[in-house]
Structure 1
Amino acid sequence: MTNKRLNNKNIVITGASSGIGLSIASLCAENGANLVLLARRLDQLEKIKQDLEGRYSVNVQVYKLDVSDTKEVKAVFSKLLGELSTIDVLVNNAGYGIFRAAHEVEMGDVKGMFDVNVVGLIACTTMVLPLMRQQRKGHIINIASQAGKIATPKSSVYSATKHAVLGYTNSLRMELSDFNVSVTAVNPGPIETNFFSIADEEGTYVKSVKRYMLTPDFVARKVVDRMLTKTREINLPRWMNAGSILFALFPGLFERAGKKVLNKK
């Protein structure tokens, strides 16, 4: 896959130390993009920087960032904005989930998921918006989830955060339509990453959906292929998105028919 649009572009990626973020970073570097990689694990980012700069003729900058800390978001983005003349793409990938029944969820986990998945995403986006509006170009890509379209048992809070991400994304897209800035929501189903080491401690959900799980490289290729295009949503896999359409049209029927399967978390 070659995306000539990315050559020499500046791409910022949160949650870039593993999973989808790392796969997106690798593909962007392969296509000639310069990168700013953000994550909590600076040691891992340094290794990625060395690897990507060694394989490709690109510039990779890395910063330690916990997106749930809005003061840290402001400080890090202020620094990188002072060093870059343009930001062409922001990929808001950082996020996590915990699958528990609603009455068992700790309030600390509720706050944590909203702080990372929603507030952190909004904070990072807010920092690049003035520049993208001024330069009248850019692309904001928010990694949401099919959980933002289909709420399921034992993921009430996680689903709520992703519903919030989709609401924010859809509003933002309309706000930026006159500034030539694209806004894309990426809604994948379950992916083979370390996400589930936290979300699904017992492993029951992974066992029930393992044959349907996507690979990070597959999702990353779909995302990178659509960078700097007017793409509203990327829904993966397609058959699962068909389920979200059915849910929107016939929610009661969908919940009754799918209750047994959806309760397998």
Structure 2
Amino acid sequence: MADRRLKGKNIIITGASSGVGAEIARLCAQQGANLVLLARRIDKLIALKEELQHHFQVDVIACQLDVSNTTEIEEVFQEVFKQIDRVDVLVNNAGFGIFREAHEAEVKEIKEMFAVNVIGLLACTKMVLPKMIATRSGHIINIASQAGKMATPKSSVYAATKHAVLGYTNSLRMEMVRSNVYVTAVNPGPIATDFFTVADQSGTYVKNVGKYMLQPHDVAKKIVNSMLTQTREINLPRWMNIGSVFYTLFPQLVERLGKKAFFKK
């Protein structure tokens, strides 16, 4: 029997136009959830909305949103709130990275990564928290990264943004205990999405780790299964998370032994 835990729930997903975000939307719709799809590519959102409404009896709102623009975030969320009375789950999925060594990173790129991965995530969360606190229910799911636990060469800025996301998420989780709102961090390794068309323009990283990449559907399934449950973290794949734990305990040793592998980006 299908899991109907999410039936009738209102779920907002940023970065919903493709990859993990789109897969989350499909899985939620299968369970009868109503969806708010947010992303920059409105054409893809509309196509996904039509797909979901064709196959499932759910309400779907699609809105164009650039999460790097905090004014736009406020305006779009206020419009969404005119159409839904509560928010049950917010999935902060929007994000991007560019792999460069620190001295090569352009200030413009640095600002853009922090604007999307950190400030945008915080701003979207801030919009829904009052509603969740008022109803004493809800779930914030922040897509971070294994890079937020263990930084590697050529990902200094991206790792810094994901460290920030994890710090915010951990603090928010403790604050929200009083309001019965769940907060989950998702820390995936590399996923086979178009993320790497921007992050890894040389193709080197994908070539070296392609066979180890996670599939978007598998990651989305783990996330959807955690919705409205008290799940602290989702770490994928397990073997990579073991490396992150080992790094926390023995950072100098890991940096020395893993030096060659880390430079495969």
TM over 0.5: yes
- Whether the aligned pair in 2 keeps the contact of 1:150 and 1:244 (CA below 8 Å) is yes
Q: Which residue of 2 aligns with 1:160?
A: 160
How far, CA to CA, are the matches of 1:195 and 1:22 in structure 2?
14
Q: Which residue of 2 aligns with 1:53?
A: 53
Q: Which residue of 1 aligns with 2:73?
A: 73
How far, CA to CA, are the matches of 2:74 and 2:42 in structure 1?
18
Q: Which residue of 1 aligns with 2:36?
A: 36
Q: Which residue of 1 aligns with 2:175?
A: 175
- Matched letter for residue 184 of structure 1: T
Q: Which residue of 2 aligns with 1:192?
A: 192
How far, CA to CA, are the matches of 2:101 and 2:27 in structure 1?
37
What TM-score does the superposition give when structure 1 sets the normalisation length? 0.99
- Alignment RMSD: 0.8
Q: Which residue of 1 aligns with 2:122?
A: 122
Count, aligned residues: 265
How far, CA to CA, are the matches of 1:85 and 1:205 in structure 2?
44
Gaps of 5+ in 1: none
Instruction: Give the C-alpha shift of residue 3 in structure 1.
Output: 3.1
How far, CA to CA, are the matches of 1:67 and 1:209 in structure 2?
29
Q: Which residue of 2 aligns with 1:103?
A: 103
Bigger drift between 225-234 and 1-10 goes to 1-10
Instruction: Give the C-alpha shift of residue 117 in structure 1.
Output: 0.1
Matched-pair identity in %: 64
How far, CA to CA, are the matches of 1:149 and 1:209 in structure 2?
19
How far, CA to CA, are the matches of 1:2 and 1:173 in structure 2?
29
Q: Which residue of 2 aligns with 1:134?
A: 134
- Matched letter for residue 131 of structure 1: K
Deviation string, structure 1 residues 123-162 (Cα, Å, up to 9, x no partner): 0000001000001000000000000000000000000000
How far, CA to CA, are the matches of 1:204 and 1:83 in structure 2?
45
Instruction: Give the C-alpha shift of residue 83 in structure 1.
Output: 1.7
- Matched letter for residue 106 of structure 2: E
How far, CA to CA, are the matches of 1:36 and 1:91 in structure 2?
10
How far, CA to CA, are the matches of 2:152 and 2:3 in structure 1?
36
Which residues in structure 2 correspond to 1:73-92 (within 5 Å)? 73-92=73-92
Q: Which residue of 2 aligns with 1:4?
A: 4
SS at match of 1:6: coil
How far, CA to CA, are the matches of 1:217 and 1:126 in structure 2?
28
How far, CA to CA, are the matches of 1:81 and 1:171 in structure 2?
26
SS at match of 1:83: coil
SS at match of 1:80: helix
How far, CA to CA, are the matches of 2:194 and 2:216 in structure 1?
11
Corresponding position: 1:62 with 2:37: no
Q: Which residue of 2 aligns with 1:211?
A: 211
- Whether the aligned pair in 2 keeps the contact of 1:3 and 1:225 (CA below 8 Å) is no
How far, CA to CA, are the matches of 2:112 and 2:2 in structure 1?
37
How far, CA to CA, are the matches of 1:22 and 1:49 in structure 2?
10
How far, CA to CA, are the matches of 1:4 and 1:141 in structure 2?
19
Deviation string, structure 1 residues 157-179 (Cα, Å, up to 9, x no partner): 00000000000000000000011
Instruction: Give the C-alpha shift of residue 82 in structure 1.
Output: 2.2
